[in-house]
Amino acid sequence: MRKTLTLILLSSALTWAQKPNYEQAAKFSPTKLRTLIFSTEVRPSWINHSDKFWYEYQTSSGKKWYLVDPNAKTKQPLFDNSDLARQITRIVKNPFDAQHLPIENLEFTEDERSIRFEVKSTKDTIKSKEELAKLKNKADSLKKKTFYLEYDLLTKQVKEINESLKVKPRPTWASYSPDTMKIFFAKNYNLYWMDRANFEKAIKDENDSTIVEHQITKDGVQYYAWGGDQYSTTTGGDEKEESKRKNVWISWSPDAKYFVLTRKDNRHLNPMWVINNVGGKRPTLETYKYQMPGETDSTEVELHLFNAETLTSKKIHVNAFKNQTVSIYTKNRDKSSYKGKLYINYWLGDEKEFYISRSSRDLKRIDIVAVGVDGSVRNVVSERSNVYLDIKKPYFVNNNTQFIHWSQRDGWGHFYLYQKDGTLIRQLTQGDYNTEDVTGYDPKTQTYTFTANGKETGEDPYYLHHYAQSLLGGEPKLLNKGNFDHQIMTSESGKYFVNNSSRVNTIPISDLYDNKGNLILKLEEADLSLLFAAGYKFPEPFKVKAGDGITDLYGVMYKPFDFDSTKTYPIIEYVYPGPQTEAVNKSFGRSMDRVDRLAQMGFIVITVGNRGGHPARSKWYHTYGYGNLRDYGLEDKKVTVEQLAARHKYIDINKVGITGHSGGGFMSTAAMLVYPDFFKVAVSAAGNHENNIYNRWWSERHHGVTEKVSAKGDTTFSYAIEKNTELAKNLKGKLLLATGDIDNNVHPANTIRMADALIKANKRFDIVLLPGQRHAFGNMTEYFFWKMADYFSEHLLGISKRDEVDIVEINKEIPLKR
């Protein structure tokens, strides 16, 4: 009798523990989180290129604006919210209060005596002439009036000002000469310019027939254009598309005598297509150029230098490798890059030469090259490797006589100091850690600052820190101590930086430091009070060993907020294999859909890195998957679950799910096919299941492409990679595939071919097609979440709402329309 009673109780407890908690997951939807999580970082708006800045920060008490002067070590409200609300209410005639100030587009005047901003009202006003001219339906001639206001920081008075004083957003197609008197753009695949007077006309009305344009080039055609996005242009029925003005990315010499750009003939590239079935009255065919790995590339990138006075050009021959990539380095933005509010794009270099990177197609050879305005070309630094290389822009110091170069030549990302002529002076940083970006330089002390990770012992090696070091070398000085991930934003002078720090299990804090590591001001601590009140609990970081038993892997475990350690839970891995990143959060964030919220259904959800993943570790770690881009990370995902299940009895090792998007969609399906007896359920979204039909740049870079040179000197490339479809016969568990039908990144053919292979292997599986959605699923993301939740609930918990027609968790958040 006692045994029977015990079995009944155990069965009852097991059933209760395995019931999916739809209500708990719904409490943390994106809509709900917007009212539970407010500001989590300070983003400084530096004022007129100075060290002073303002920022806005929101808590459960509303939004506030602050002015910070680092030199004076002061932080003060930019205005009194209550007083400003009263003044705005009088002018706009809509009621506002201190907690609800709808201020937009705030900016300081050049004299810093006033701030200007916009406030929207409920008052109807007639649209502008330009807006009316574009209307298809004349009934839409009204809009809500936006008031343009100015607040005097001394008198603390608000007044409405004429909208003509507002600095209007500049057209995205405009590229300015250094004196801003000529504006360059692309049109009909060629290069054009107009003067400032005609540009002002175009700002008012782009279709003004009196605008005078001057054509520079004559031979541009579609896919062999001088400007505009000629590579990925889609054609979906807009016959006037080619005649629209488009951006052309040109880089200027400091003396404004020259500018440079690249051009490539992509006409030979085969097109790709998607059909938008729900975008209009008729389904629309979209055509775009898309090069797949291993395909023949018959043309090379051209580098053209233009004389700014004569507007004539010459082609500069920089070819060194077959199908090479050429990137023009541009100057870092600073005060000298602007004329008023207009940004001028200068090349990196001086009046006599500029710098480019030149990379072989297999990315095993990369050069930094100096190109002279006389057409001369000199190699400055060469990097060579048996696997693909990464490169960063050189950082010039000491009146441009030297530069700091980043390289992984010793197996880790480190800085090296070079003379301008390419002579190595010394290696600046060294050790088993990874440097990232140079953030500033003080010529007086010859000290530069930079970000790096993995240097501090006892910390997660992914946590980013800020350091300072002399150009003479020596041990870098840590500027922002603390066992957290630190994201920094540096003032233009490099004297100060705002430091936002947190872990996945801490409340974010924001502080102001100087470039010597001194704390200047404590700025903010995020308000998570409402989030915790709703039942939120921090996830738990963990560390395990990789499949080799040696390499440390770092992950995060997410539990149901009503977690009970006496019960058992299925475990789901959310995966993204990299190699450009890993889907493992290191700091507190808002994105909880795929981890925190999924766990609330009644699962343990984990994310963990894998060998071949994140680039911010050793070069060995990063390139572990080179040549094996399907299987390289799977063993580490499997052994992670095994180790965690051995540590924690609440993990059910017999109920393992896996999910991911894009590369994670590819990886989750691969896991089901390579380890079919271990992974039982997968939800795979937008996966690149056949990397031979994914884009050339990613596939060839991370998997590798073979370059062959014949006896005659002809160079060809070949590419071969294992595909998920080849293993379709291995499927044993439950698999849900999903794709957007107009995904022009990972083409729907990847998912369709996977389905085709599974059908031919006589396998049962499920598939979801999301109409009108591209790679990220857009406004169907929430729908997909609940489809995923249903699938895991049904096949790991034995219960779901798949039989219910309405997804009530979504419907509850949508206002009923009558």
The predicted-structure confidence for 394-421, as pLDDT tens digits, reads as follows 999 999 999 999 999 999 999 999 999 9
Q: What is the pLDDT of residue 133?
A: 63
Chain position carrying tokens 């690249």? 262
Contact (Cβ atoms closer than 8 angstroms) between residue 635 and residue 547 = yes
Tokens of 633: 């990370």
Q: How confident is residue 815, by pLDDT bands cut at 50, 70 and 90?
A: confident
Mean residue pLDDT of the chain comes to: 93
Summary count for the chain: helices (H), strands (E):
15, 46
CATH number for the domain running over 392-527: 2.120.10.30
Q: In the chain, helix, strand, coil percent, each to 5?
A: 20, 35, 45
545 pLDDT higher than 80: yes
The rounded Cα 77 to chain-centroid distance in angstroms is 32
Collapse the DSSP code of 504 into the 3-class scheme (helix H, G, I; strand E, B; otherwise coil) and give the result: coil
Q: For the chain, what percent of residues have pLDDT higher than 90?
A: 85
For the cut 80, the answer to whether the pLDDT of residue 235 exceeds it is no
> What distances in angstroms separate CA 435 from CA 228, 362, 411, 474, 618, one per listed residue?
35, 24, 12, 15, 11
Mean pLDDT of 347-368: 97
Q: Give the whole-angstrom CA distance, residue 511 versus residue 75.
A: 11
- Secondary structure of 668-689 in HEC code, one letter for each residue: HHHHHHHCCCCCCEEEEECCCC
Which three-class secondary structure state does DSSP give residue 525?
strand
Band of pLDDT at residue 10, cut at 50, 70 and 90: very low
| 164/183 Cα distance (integer angstroms) | 21
DSSP, collapsed to helix, strand or coil, labels residue 813 as coil
Burial of 651-666, coded b for 16+ CB within 10 Å and e otherwise, reads: bbeebbbbbbbbbbbb
Sheet holding 485-490, edge to edge: 485-490, 496-502, 509-514, 519-525
Radius of gyration of the chain (CA): 29
Please state, in angstroms and rounded to a whole number, the distance separating the CA atoms of residues 356 and 353.
Answer: 10
Three-class secondary structure of residue 214 per DSSP? strand
Under the banding of pLDDT at 50, 70 and 90, the label for residue 384 is: very high
Report yes or no: 723 and 692 within 8 Å, Cβ to Cβ.
Answer: yes
As a dihedral over the C-alpha atoms of residue 361, residue 363, residue 365, residue 370, rounded to 10 degrees, the angle is 80
Helix axes 663-674, 634-647, angle to 10 degrees: 70
Model confidence band, residue 13 (pLDDT cutoffs 50, 70, 90): very low
Q: What is the pTM of this model?
A: 0.93
Q: Pinpoint the residues of the chain covered by CATH 2.120.10.30.
A: 392-527
**Does residue 515 contact residue 494 with C-beta atoms inside 8 Å?**
yes
Residue 19 tokens, joined = 């019931």
Q: Which of 335, 332, 322 is nearest to 355 (CA)?
A: 332
**How far is it, in rounded angstroms, from Cα 429 to Cα 451?**
12
Q: How far apart are CA 366 and CA 385, in angstroms?
A: 9
Residue with more model confidence, 4 or 279:
279
Instruction: Check residue 238 and give its pLDDT.
Output: 55
Res. 5: pLDDT tops 60: no
Looking at residue 230, what is its pLDDT?
Answer: 58
Number of residues in the chain: 818
Rounded distance, CA 757 to CA 674, Å?
15
CB atoms within 10 A of CB 577: 29
User: What's the whole-number mean pLDDT along residues 476-492?
Assistant: 97
Beta bridge partners of 175: 184
pLDDT score recorded for residue 137? 67
- Cβ atoms within 10 Å of 509's Cβ, excluding its own: 19
Spatial CB neighbours of 85, under 8 Å, sequence gap ≥ 6: 96, 97, 98, 100, 101
Q: Give the dihedral sign, CA 335/338/340/341.
A: negative
pLDDT greater than 90 at residue 552: yes
Per-residue pLDDT, 4 = 45
Say what the pLDDT of residue 727 is.
98
Confidence tier at 687 by pLDDT (50, 70, 90): very high
Please tell me the number of Cα atoms within 13 Å of 818 on its side-chain side: 0
DSSP state at residue 165:
G
Least confident span in 133-142, 515-524, 664-673: 133-142
Q: Are 135 and 141 in contact (CB under 8 A)?
A: yes
DSSP labels for 422-459? S-EEEE---SSSEEEEEEEEETTTTEEEEEEES-STTS
Residue 136's pLDDT is 63
Backbone angles phi, psi at 195, to 5 degrees: -85, 175
* Residue ranges matching CATH 3.40.50.1820 in the chain: 2-36+531-811
For 562-596, the pLDDT digits (tens) are 999 999 999 999 999 889 889 899 999 877 778 99
Q: Which of 562, 564, 547, 553 is nearest to 648 (CA)?
A: 564
In which order are the strands placed within the sheet that holds 365-372? 325-328, 353-359, 365-372, 377-384
Give pLDDT, residue 169: 78
Of 698, 615, 635, 632, give the one whose Cα is nearest residue 662.
698
Fold of 2-36+531-811: Rossmann fold (3.40.50)
> CA 178, CA 620: separation in Å to the nearest integer?
44
Residue 184 to residues 73, 149, 173, 302: CA-CA distances in angstroms?
43, 33, 8, 19
* Tens of pLDDT, residues 647-665: 999 999 999 999 999 999 9
DSSP state of 728: G
Distance CA(695)–CA(581), nearest Å, equals 18
| Contact in structure between 510 and 587 (CB atoms under 8 Å) | no
- Beta strands 604-608 and 104-108, pairing class: unpaired
Measured distance CA(173)–CA(187) in Å, rounded:
10
Kindly tell me if the per-residue pLDDT of 335 is higher than 50: yes
Find out whether the peptide bond into 30 is cis, omega within 30 degrees of 0. no
Between the CA atoms of 77, 81, 82 and 88, what dihedral angle is there, to the nearest 10 degrees?
Answer: 130
Least confident of 31-45, 155-169, 665-679: 155-169
Residue 12 has what pLDDT? Answer: 40
3-state DSSP assignment of residue 729: helix
DSSP secondary structure, 89-128, as one string: HHHH-S--BTTB---EEEEE-TTSSEEEEEEEEEEEEEPP
- Rounded to the nearest 5°, which phi and psi values hold at 61? -95, 0
Dist. CA 292–CA 279, nearest whole Å: 27
Both structure tokens of 488: 């920094």
